[in-house]
Structure 1
Amino acid sequence: MFGRIGRFSVKRPWLTIVAWIIAAVALSALAPSLKPANDQADFLPSRFESVQAAKTAAAAFPQSEESAAIAVFQRTDGGKLTDADKADVAKVAAGLQDKKYENIKKVQTSPEAVSPNGEIALATVVPSVDDLYDEAVIKAVKTLRQDAKQLLDGTALKMGVTGPAASALDAGESSGDTDAMIMMATLVLIIVLLAVIFRSPLIAFLPVLMIAVMFTVAMALIAIASDVAGLQADSGISALLIVVLFGVGTDYILFLLFRYREHLRAGQEPKEALADAVARVGETIASAAGAVIVAFLALLLSTMGSLKAMGPSLAIAVAVTLVAALTLVPAVFSLLGTKAFWPSKAWKRTPKNRLANRLGDTVARRPAVVAAVSAGVLVVLAVGALGFKAEFDSDSSLPKNLESVQAMEQLQQGFSAGQTDPSLILVTSQGGAKLDAAALEDFRGEVAKTEGVSDVSPALVSAAGDVAQFSAVLEHRPASEKAIALVSGDLRDTVHRAAPDGTKAIVGGTTAVLADIEVAVEHDYKLVFPVAGLAIMIILGLLLRSVVAPFYLMISVGLGFAATLGATVWLFQGAKGESGLLFMLPVIVYLFVVAIGTDYNILMVARLREEVRRGTSPREAVKQAVAQSAPTIGSAAVILAGTFGVLMLANNSLLQQMGFAVSFGILLTAFVMALLLVPTLTTMLGAKAWWPGRRSAPDAGLGSGDEQREPAMAAGSAAK
């Protein structure tokens, strides 16, 4: 099959290239725009208490008001607010109210909105829409900040804006800069590395142009799937898609180009060499892409809607990359022939590869020693994973110079940290009867006694009288570990226990949502990991026609996963002193390191199988496979790790953690597992590694007629 695909693309290059360009243009024109998604409550199933609380509150209090942002006032000298200052706060709030911002209902303050220490005053920005992250509301907050500067002239006050919409605004602008930086750094890195590897400007730039076409098609297909099939996806995935497409796309192009160059050196004509390269590595690329795709699709089993959205989106991107690697890439290079390597002539000469040959010889001669050392390194690093602590406070990862972050710090100088986003407590009458006011007040008193709760508001009773809502201000930041532990533990326990007779009491709000996300993530760890691992094992089994090899391959990859997570814990929680790591980091590391990193294991074992089926001994096969695969795996891993490593340049600790973990894991997978551990284990197992496959069977990876061409090609090479 892959031979036919390769010959079609090589013989009809213009048709293939034009088809891709038309597809990119047409899909981009038809695709709707992806919108940002911010409300994690929408991403949780209805069985969770926080989701039930949100639905109850929306039904019982349709006119309830939430603050999209909070303006924080203080004196420029840091002193206590005078009566004149308080009057100025009221004037500024009234001035902002008079501006009539789109989707903003009011900007209000009151004498009670002054901190107990008299240093901080607040004004709330209340939207006229339910969505606190509405695009118009976020734009209004941006304009409000500018307008406030003029209104503050002549006063002794300074003002900063924080809260949900303000944080979203700052995060969006910060990530916008990050996307541009990641794109630029990724492009420079790939171009430089490809130029160094092939010493050709064409090969340095052509993959970038082709991957740009893939990115356009992938983003359009994701948007269409989101609109037509109800796939939840948002524009925030673009930064991840950049590194996935450029990293994986470059990997597959390298797999093809290294084999293409190998066939050219054996004496084949360019078009024949390119078609045979697709036939040879097509199955390897398809298997590698298949492993990544099924691992990403395993996220559909996730409880978290955000992960469910991420999985199919990334799977679509990798599928597009696979199709392009087998069609667009050979079509482009078939037009260029050997001119693609200009001005270098190195493609004509078989490189000495002294380091790769020495590595292959060492792995073949001393497999037990190499296996013990490489496994030992992984085990030592894996110990660090035991100290992993999940971090749910995404705002803590934002740069400290952002206005929303600084304003939050100022607010906490005068108010409880939970003032900006109180937890909601809903009490509902079980039989529909009206709630008793005295019982509600007693309930409020019990909740207020909970350690860590700063204040509980009086009950707000619905029009029907059967639902009451309380706002509980916590002493901790709403997204902090302490707040989450309080809500999931003592607060919910107290609320459930103290509910008046004949009622049901539940806790909602942002902190409750994060507490439920913590439970959901634990569930996902136990379900998604095994399913993704099993799917990858099946793909490996189909590729290798073996039952044994997939087992030790997945065990080695699992050890690599633990080692990667452990190294990340030691760096960020240990050396850098951070309180925890991104709660989704284990899922991301598992999927990217296990799935994408498995590419190199697949490339190695596919080459091993090819050597074994030529009749060479297992030890000689390992020696040749390592020597031949090391340049490809090393080059591909450095580029892929480099593209993810670019995330470490972001001014966001969560992206830095992701960038380090994935890039380090890929290097570990390539240089320790694929080049050392896997081939040594294969050597030690010998023919058993391929059971129940037959060693003498013809190479199933060859296309139709390739079995006859290979001896002729080898003979031609020997004659030269």
Structure 2
Amino acid sequence: MFARLARAVVRHPWWTIVAWLVAAVAVIAFSPQLSTESDQGDFLPSSYESVQGMEIAQKAFPQQEDTSALIVVKRTDGAPLTTADTAKVNQIAQTLNSDKPETVQGFLAGPQTVAPNRAVQVVAVPMKGFDSDAQTKQSEAVKEIRADLKTQLNGTGLEAKVGGDVAGWVDNEDSFNQSFEIVGIATFVLIIGLILLIFRAPLAALLPILVISLTMQVAMGVIGIASKIFDFSGDQSLSTIILIVLFGIGADYYLFLMFRFRERLRAGDDKRTAMTTALERVGEVITSAAAAIAVSFLVLLLAAFGGFSALGPSLAIAVMVMGVTSLTLFPAIIVLLGPAVFWPSKAWKKQPKSSGAAALGRQVGRRPALVALVSGGLMVALAAGVFGFKADYDFAAGFPQDTESAQATKDMQKGFPPGIATPVQVFLKTENGQPISQQQIGAFSAAVKGAPGVGQIRPGEVGARDKSVARVDLLLKDNPMSNESISLVKDDLTPAVHRATPDGVRSYVSGQTAIFADINAVNNRDLSVILPVAAVLIALILALLLRSLVAPIYLVVAVLLGFTATLGSAVYVFQGAMNEPGVSFQLPIVLYLFVLAIGTDYNILMTARLREEAREGNEPRKAAALAVEHGGPTVAAAGLILAGTFSVMVLAPVSMLQQIGFSVAIGIALSAFVMSTFLVPGLTAMLGHKAWWPGHGDEPDRPTGGEPPVLHKGEYEPSGMGR
């Protein structure tokens, strides 16, 4: 099949390019946009109690805010607030209410908003809206409020800081944008810079940037069409994730093709023969790798958490589009350019005299058992770190602490429990649908007053539209987004609330802390389902590629070991060396996307090369040495680009991005430089012919007749990365 495809593309490169461009224009011009969701709670299944509470709240409390800001007021001299001070704060709230921004529901102040120790007074600023337009208006509202407060408080001896969710986003938006800009620029610089270093050819370096950028537009168009047909959506991070995935695998597949094309040119082939052979050999690898990654992403459809399942089809489509591009557009352009793609370098004509890859290959071939033992032992030691893994949900703590919103939170905690900004919301609903009584609300409030972790209880509020519902806010003593509070809500507070609920009434524990407690539970469930299913499907794809049952087993074990070793490394660094309370709860799924899925590329390339070298008549150890020599530079270059791109994220001033950047960079490096270069070739050389059982994948393509195989000129001469 790949031989026919290779001949068709090489014979008709212009028709291939024109057909691809026509299809691209049609898709981009007529495709709808993918709809997105932004609230984590929207992605939880409706069977979870926190979601049921939110649904009840939407009906009974239509005025309830979607998000909020808080104005924290204190005296500039640090003294307790006087009666005149609180009167001034209430007056300012009324003034702000008279001309409030569109998205703001109101400015709520009064005696109940003054701290018991009178250190601060808080003005609540509830807001409506979750979509991107509403978020823009909310951000503008925070900026407007801050400007108004400066005027209102001038000469009063009071100072105010605006905090809360929206203010935190405003203060940290620049950090996020700067971080993603750095990653985007680093991606281009690294791809261009490293390919320039490898091939010493500006055209070879610019080509993947242009083609992958266009492919991303096509992929987003196809995703938009598919989303309307199959009714799925994504979250706001989807475009960023797709960009990283496409540039990661696109650069991989481009390098797979270019290294083999250069190898064939050095062996004496003309440009058409070189590309035909290269595409025939690499096409199967690219197709298998793309299929394995796409299947890994589609397995996310099994996730109960909608944020994960929404990613699955979009990423799978993007990968398959990139696979088609790599099998058609890339080779068509390269064959038209021919050796000119390497201009002005002449190095593509020469066989390098020696290379580091050749030396590594010889070591793997001579001592495969030792190489496998050392590389496998390193991975196991790193993987042991997962036993100390703790999920961290406190986004705010990971942002810079010198912003106004962060300072507002610290000021507020001088007079109120930390949970005031993010209360645990308990919704009480009568079972018979009759109006809930103040006696029932009071009985519940009294009973839950001493519940674990509760520092303060706000007066209950009866629903505006549904009188059978009441809301009681529980303010936690500790940070409501900490691991301890999330565990407390899940394991201790929720059962205590249920026990305190009066007869004839049902209670629902909701709010952000409860939502994250449920997300914790659903995350654990999803990973326990996704990882085994993905492993089985990747093994099936490898079995089809290699016609073997043995090799896919240790390859999948190596991939899963790489995933756990990467997560363990993050635990060692962030929880151990840096003494952070936990690792971002999103990290395991990010590692699944970028390490387990994309890292499979390198194993597939190396294993296919091991089989190819065996088919040339080489015994197992020699085949391993040659596979590392010829496949190693490709894997090293691809891994270096992707790992380098993510490593730039450690410079971001946001802890979550630092963790993602470090962990993915380490994971890709382990996949490329440990698993694919040492562990997999070492194991394959140790097992020898047994690795390909029950098939005959390592049998020579032609009988050797007891003599060395006849090789093309220079085919197995060392081929260094930059020579």
Whichever residue aligns with residue 126 of structure 2, its letter is V
Structure 2 distance, partners of 1:19, 1:401, is: 54
Deviations 1:272-308 (A, max 9, x none): 3123211110110111111111111111111111111
What is the deviation of 1:125? 1.6
Structure 2 residue 4 is matched with structure 1 residue 4: yes
Q: 8 Å contact 1:291–1:595 — kept in the other structure? A: yes
Given the alignment of the two structures, is residue 194 of structure 1 paired with residue 192 of structure 2, yes or no?
no
The answer as to 2:218 corresponding to 1:220 is: no
Amino acid at match of 1:69: A
Moved more, 597-606 or 379-388: 379-388
Corresponding residue for residue 288 of structure 2:
287
CA shift for structure 1 position 445: 0.6
Give the 3 Å change call, closer, same or farther, for CA 693–403 of structure 1 in structure 2: same
Does the 8 A contact of 2:612 with 2:698 survive in 1?
Answer: no
Match of 1:259, SS? helix
Partner of 2:600: 598
Q: Give the direction of change, closer, same or farther, for the CA distance of 1:148–1:592 in structure 2 (3 Å limit).
A: same
Aligned letter for 2:712? A
The equivalent residue for 2:630 is 628
Alpha-carbon offset, residue 390 of structure 1: 0.8
Aligned to 2:706: none
Residue 255 to residue 470, structure 1, CA distance change in 2 (3 Å): same
Select which of 549, 557, 562 maps to 1:555: 557
Residue of structure 2 equivalent to 1:707 = none
Give the 3 Å change call, closer, same or farther, for CA 429–344 of structure 1 in structure 2: same
* SS of structure 1 residue aligned to 2:470: strand
Q: Residues of 2 paired with 1:18 and 1:111: CA distance?
A: 72
CA distance in 1, matches of 2:422, 2:50: 14
Post-superposition Cα deviations, 1:202-260, rounded to whole Å, max 9, x if no partner, equal: 11111111111122222333344445533221332233233222221111100000000
Matched letter for residue 523 of structure 1:
R
The answer as to whether partners of 1:446 and 1:494 remain within 8 angstroms in 2 is: no
Cα offset, 1:689, TM superposition: 0.5
Residue aligned with 1:105, SS: coil
TM-score using structure 1 length? 0.93
CA distance in 1, matches of 2:276, 2:403: 54
Query: Are 1:166 and 2:167 an aligned pair?
Result: yes
Query: What is the deviation of 1:343?
Result: 1.0
Question: TM (normalized to structure 2)?
Answer: 0.92
Counterpart of 1:113 in structure 2 is 113
Cα offsets for 1:102-146 (capped at 9, x unmatched)? 222322322332222222122122335587964433332233333
Matched, 1:211 2:212: yes
Q: In structure 2, how many angstroms separate the alpha carbons of the residues matched to 1:399 and 1:494?
A: 36
Q: Distance in 2 between matches of 1:669 and 1:65?
A: 46
- Cα deviation for residue 436 of structure 1 reads 4.2
Change (3 A) 1:689 1:148: same
Report the secondary structure of 2:580's partner residue. coil
- Aligned pairs for 1:448-487 (under 5 A) are 448-462=449-463, 465-487=467-489
Per mean C-alpha deviation after superposition, the further-off stretch among 472-481 and 517-526 is 472-481
Instruction: Sort the Cα spacing of 1:604 and 1:236 in 2 relative to 1 into closer, same or farther, 3 A.
Output: same
Amino acid at match of 2:457: V
Q: Give the structure 1 partner of residue 721 of structure 2.
A: none
Q: Distance in 2 between matches of 1:281 and 1:698?
A: 19
What is aligned with 1:618?
620
Are residues 79 and 334 of structure 1, via their aligned partners in 2, closer, same or farther at CA, if it must alter by over 3 Å? farther
2:359 matches 1:358:
yes
The alpha-carbon deviation at position 464 of structure 1 amounts to 5.2
What is the match of residue 103 of structure 2? 103
Report Cα offsets for 1:636-661 as digits up to 9, x if no partner.
Answer: 11111112222222221111111111
Deviation string, structure 1 residues 346-389 (Cα, Å, up to 9, x no partner): 10112234321221111111111111111121122222221111
Rounded to whole Å, the distance in 1 between the matches of 2:715 and 2:663 is 43
Of 589-598 and 616-625, the range deviating more from structure 2: 589-598
SS at 1:607's partner residue? Answer: helix
- Map residues 396-435 of structure 1 onto 2, 5 A cutoff: 396-435=397-436
User: For residue 687 of structure 1, what is the aligned residue in structure 2?
Assistant: 689
Distance 1:450 1:575 in 2: 35
When residues 7 and 399 of structure 1 are mapped into structure 2, their CA distance, relative to the original with a 3 A threshold, is farther
1:349 to 2:350 alignment: yes
Contact 1:107 1:126 survives alignment (8 Å): yes
The answer to whether the aligner puts 1:232 opposite 2:230 as a matched pair is: no
Match of 1:576 in 2: 578
Displacement of 1:569 after TM fit? Answer: 0.8
Aligned twin of 1:46: 46
| 2:656 equivalent among 654, 657, 668 | 654
Aligned residue pair count: 708
1:714 counterpart residue number: 712
> For 2:677, which of 671, 675, 692 is the aligned residue?
675
What SS does the corresponding residue of 2:155 show, helix, strand or coil? Answer: coil
1:490 alignment counterpart: 492
Q: How does 1:511-590 map to 2 (within 5 A)?
A: 511-590=513-592
Pair 1:377-2:375 in alignment: no
CA distance in 1, matches of 2:143, 2:540: 51
CA contact (8 A) 2:617 2:699 kept: no
Distance across 1 between alignment mates of 2:102 and 2:30: 29
Q: Counterpart of 2:556 in structure 1: which amino acid?
A: M
**1:394 is aligned with what amino acid?**
F
In the TM superposition, residue 168 of structure 1 has moved relative to its aligned partner by 3.5
Q: Distance in 1 between matches of 2:400 and 2:13?
A: 48
Find the residue that maps to 2:309 and give its secondary structure.
helix
1:34·1:235 contact (CA, 8 Å) conserved in 2? Answer: no
The answer on whether the counterparts of 1:182 and 1:239 sit within 8 Å (CA) in structure 2 is no
- Change in CA separation of 1:538 and 1:103 when aligned onto 2, cut-off 3 Å: same
The separation in 1 between residues aligned to 2:99 and 2:35, in whole angstroms, is 27
Quote the residue 2:338 is aligned against.
Answer: 337
- Secondary structure of 1:108's counterpart equals coil
Per the alignment, in what secondary structure is the counterpart of residue 714 of structure 1? coil
Q: Return the offset for 1:682.
A: 0.9
1:698 Cα deviation from its structure 2 partner:
7.1
The whole-number CA distance in structure 2 between the counterparts of 1:566 and 1:657 is 12
Residue in 2 aligned with 1:704?
Answer: none
Where structure 1 has 5 or more consecutive residues not aligned to the other structure, the ranges are: 701-710
The structural deviation recorded for 1:339 is 0.9
Write the mapping of 1:178-193 to structure 2, written as runs, cut at 5 A: 178-193=179-194
**Alpha-carbon deviation of 1:412?**
1.6
Contact 1:49 1:508 in 2 (8 A): yes
Comparing 513-522 and 316-325, the one that deviates more? 316-325
Q: Match of 1:72?
A: 72
Alpha-carbon distance between aligned partners in 2 of 1:160 and 1:22, rounded to the nearest angstrom: 55
What code does the residue aligned with 1:404 have?
S
Q: Give yes or no for contact 1:423–1:508 (8 Å, CA) kept in 2.
A: yes
- 3-state SS in 1 of match to 2:37: coil
Residue number in structure 2 paired with 1:638? 640
Q: Would the aligned equivalents of 1:34 and 1:234 in 2 still touch at CA under 8 Å?
A: no
Aligned to 1:703: none
SS state at 2:712 partner = helix
The corresponding residue for 1:17 is: 17
Verify the 8 A CA contact 1:9 1:327 in the aligned structure 2.
yes
Instruction: Return the alpha-carbon distance in structure 2 between the equivalents of residues 402 and 41 of structure 1.
Output: 26
Q: Which position in structure 2 is the counterpart of 1:708? A: none
SS in 2 for 1:482: helix
Separation in 2, partners of 1:217, 1:82: 63
Aligned partners of 1:453, 1:629: CA distance in 2, in Å? 60
CA–CA distance in 2 between the matches of 1:683 and 1:712?
23
Structure-2 separation of matches of 1:224 and 1:173: 32
1:622 aligns to what SS in structure 2?
helix
CA distance in structure 2 between the partners assigned to 1:130 and 1:244 by the alignment = 27
- Contact 2:71/2:123 (CA < 8 Å) preserved in 1? yes
Provide the residue aligned with 2:315 in structure 1. 314
